[in-house]
């Protein structure tokens, strides 16, 4: 974090997943909601013209509560209106929509959905030329790769 110099750190909220599924009981039991509310209320964002979040709830909620524009840039913002989301429950939709709400979301996704979805931002070395024709890339941000077969 040193390159950012004058940064602040707060304990926020955490979403828990196991085997690719949201674990609601863990989400409810493990988060410190009063601490979260305290951090949101104390975070002063008035000096900024725009609050930018990467699906981080304290900055998103602080900006929204103070009527500041909030721009979200993250994979989760690709799943907004008019996006194909097969099998998502109403509870999952509520968690994803309310966790870090934004004025405008820019989703990052490997598929092109149009107006507000960009390709993933990756800082990778140049890839060697492909030798096999049938490659499958799987994005597992929070999963234990040893358990995925």
pLDDT digits (tens, 9 = 90+) for 81-135: 655 566 667 777 777 778 889 998 877 766 666 666 666 666 667 766 666 566 6
Segments making up each domain of the chain, as ranges: 2-119
Which two structure tokens, joined as six digits, stand for 109? 């996704």
Pairing state between β 17-18 and 21-22: antiparallel
Determine the average pLDDT of the residues in 17-32. 83
Which two structure tokens, joined as six digits, stand for 97? 């929509």
The pLDDT, as a whole number, for residue 110 is: 64
pLDDT digits (tens, 9 = 90+) for 32-87: 999 999 999 999 999 999 999 988 999 999 999 999 999 998 877 777 665 556 66
Residue 95: other Cβ atoms inside 10 A: 14
């Amino acid at each position: 974090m040193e390159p950012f110099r004058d940064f602040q750190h707060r304990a926020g909220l955490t979403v828990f997943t196991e085997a690719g599924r949201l674990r609601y009981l863990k989400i409810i039991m493990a988060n410190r909601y009063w601490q979260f509310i305290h951090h949101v209320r104390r975070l002063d964002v008035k000096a900024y013209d725009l609050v930018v979040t990467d699906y981080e709830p304290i900055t998103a909620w602080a900006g929204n509560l103070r009527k500041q524009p909030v721009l979200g840039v993250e994979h989760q913002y690709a799943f907004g209106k008019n996006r194909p989301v097969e099998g998502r429950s109403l509870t999952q939709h509520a968690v994803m929509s309310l966790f870090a709400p934004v004025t405008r979301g820019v989703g990052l996704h490997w598929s092109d959905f149009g107006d507000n979805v960009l390709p993933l931002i990756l800082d990778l070395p140049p890839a060697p030329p492909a030798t096999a024709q049938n490659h499958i890339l799987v994005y597992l941000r929070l999963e234990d790769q040893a358990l995925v077969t």
